[in-house]
Amino acid sequence: MIHSFAEWLQSLPLAVLVSESWFPQVESAHVFALTLFLGLLITVDLRLVGWGSQHMRFTQLSDQLLPWTWLAFGCAAITGGLLFMANATTYVDNVPFQAKMALLVLAGLNMGFFQFVTFRGVAAWDDRAATGAARWAGITSLVLWTGIVTFGRWIGFV
């Protein structure tokens, strides 16, 4: 199932174009977008954990940074999707790639839980370092994204 989907994806004209002519450029754009995304996300996560930006309310920092963070994430996701299409049949069997995708899902769940559950109590820690669930959301995010970059880089080494 997944293999026939990968074969179909890889046979699309766009995928062929990327794999034959644009892979290094798309990969460079992916690195630029993901490093910008990650740096901004780390800044917000560290504020949660209690490191840096403590003179600002959490919501003040996140309101100002998250639009740019999501913009960069969107670019990283689009370029990442193009890279995947170009070599889909190889990537689906690539263990670091599979690990990266699994961690991405976990990072998404962590973010969703924080946004829709933990964030309701923001008033209690908006003006100080977060404690409890909010602090753990920050730590979990930092660990997961470090793992995502690590496995992402490892994709090319196996």
Residues that bind another protein (CB under 8 A): 24-25, 27-29, 31-32, 34-40, 42-43, 56, 60-61, 64-65, 68, 146, 149-150, 153-154, 157
Instruction: Give a three-class secondary structure readout of 50-83.
Output: CCCCCCCCHHHHHHHHHHHHHHHHHHHHHHHHHH
Non-local (6+) Cβ contacts of 48 within 8 A are 58, 129, 130, 134, 135, 137, 138
Identity of the residue, 36 or 133, whose beta carbon is nearer to another protein in the bound complex: 36
What is the nearest approach in angstroms of another protein to the Cβ of residue 11?
24
What is the nearest approach in angstroms of another protein to the Cβ of residue 134?
21
User: Which of 78, 81, 47 is closest to 64 using CA atoms?
Assistant: 47
Distance separating alpha carbons of residues 124 and 133, to the nearest angstrom = 12
What is the nearest approach in angstroms of another protein to the Cβ of residue 32?
5
What is the nearest approach in angstroms of another protein to the Cβ of residue 77?
16
Identity of the residue, 41 or 137, whose beta carbon is nearer to another protein in the bound complex: 41
Identity of the residue, 6 or 155, whose beta carbon is nearer to another protein in the bound complex: 155
Identity of the residue, 34 or 103, whose beta carbon is nearer to another protein in the bound complex: 34
